[in-house]
Amino acid sequence: MDGAAAPARPAGLSAYVAVSQLLGLTLLVTTGAWLGCYRGGVAWHSPLQFNVHPLCMVLGMVFLQGDALLVYRVFRNEAKRSTKALHALLHGLALLIALVGIIAVFESHRTKGIPDMYSLHSWCGMAAFVLYLLQWLLGCGFFLLPGASFSLRGRYKPQHIFFGIALFALSIAACLLGITEMLLFNIRDSYSRFVPEGVLANTLGVLLVAFGLVVGYVLTRDEWKRPPLAEELALSMDFKTLTEGESPGGGSQ
């Protein structure tokens, strides 16, 4: 019985991850219910093409992006290379789905003669997507593909983590702006009377905020971070030895 057992999952982590998934699935169902019950549903080459946009953005830029961020908390003891690949794959899938949503809204605007990129929602949304794509490309280049040195990865990692959380927050903010904009366009005269569509859409906004808060809480708990593997600690010690040098008088091994 020489093999070391895998470290136990920290108390409370599983519960918070489960709550995040419940909230994520609920916000997807709520988005579908809003579009299906009040906006006529979803279709591509039809007047309903616009509705593809909110569905794809909530699915890609919020739910899948949030799950991609949680990968290193959920898969704590699996091989680092496999965890990296899953992290990159989920982010890439989120980008692909979001791209479909962006194409849908631009095509819908062109068909209906609506101008593009004039609102705060569109500015924040496009900034989130472009920066998210750049973040994904840089992440793949530094951490997934060979070539980047250990020291370079170490210097870039804090920026990668910070901008990952920041872009997740920006994506949620863009969705909240989009919900408000969509309600003001469609039910401006009745919105203040607490009509069912407005209440449902506001509920969706609350779910988005709740999902973001739970994911953010999991990500910022230091004791829930993925423990360093033995090979990572060895690399860290090797790097420290190379940068600090041998102590005076130190003998060779």
**Dihedral of alpha carbons 226, 237, 231, 140, sign:** positive
Q: Is 53 within the bounds of a domain? A: yes
Q: Residue 96 is inside which H or E element, if any?
A: helix 80-112
- Residue 30 near residue 200 (C-beta atoms within 8 A): yes
Tokens of 134: 């750049």
Tokens of 114: 């609506």
Q: Is 222 within the bounds of a domain? A: yes
Q: Is 111 within the bounds of a domain? A: yes
CA–CA distance, 187 with 62 (Å, rounded to integer): 25
pTM of this structure:
0.88
Q: Is 30 within the bounds of a domain? A: yes
Residue 149 CB burial class (10 angstroms; 0-12, 13-18, ≥19): exposed
With pLDDT > 90 as the criterion, what percentage of the chain qualifies?
78
Domain membership of residue 49 as a residue range: 13-227
- How many domains would you assign to the chain? 1
Q: What is the pLDDT of residue 223?
A: 93
Q: Is 85 within the bounds of a domain? A: yes
Mean pLDDT of successive 10-residue stretches along the chain, which has 253 residues: 60 96 98 97 95 98 98 92 95 98 97 96 98 97 88 93 98 98 96 97 98 98 82 48 45 41
Q: What is the pLDDT of residues 66-99, one digit of tens each?
A: 999 999 999 988 898 999 999 999 999 999 999 9
Q: Residue 169 is inside which H or E element, if any?
A: helix 150-186
Q: Is 8 within the bounds of a domain? A: no
Q: Is 6 within the bounds of a domain? A: no
Q: What is the pLDDT of residue 242?
A: 44
CA–CA distance, 245 with 253 (Å, rounded to integer): 15
Q: Residue 77 in 3-state DSSP?
A: coil
Q: What is the pLDDT of residue 10?
A: 86
Q: What is the pLDDT of residue 229?
A: 63
Q: Is 241 within the bounds of a domain? A: no
Closest Cα partner for 231 from 220, 223, 239? 239
Phi-psi region of 116 (alpha: psi -120 to 50; beta: other; left: phi over 0): beta
If DSSP states are collapsed to H, E and C, what string results for 122-135?
HHHHHHHHHHHHHH
Q: What is the pLDDT of residue 156?
A: 95
Q: What are phi and psi of 48, to 5 degrees?
A: -90, 5
CATH classification at residue 154: 1.20.120.1770
CA–CA distance, 42 with 48 (Å, rounded to integer): 6
- Residue 36 near residue 188 (C-beta atoms within 8 A): no
Q: What is the pLDDT of residues 115-129, one digit of tens each?
A: 999 999 999 999 999
Radius of gyration in angstroms for the set of CA atoms belonging to the chain, rounded to a whole number: 22
- Residue 20 near residue 224 (C-beta atoms within 8 A): no
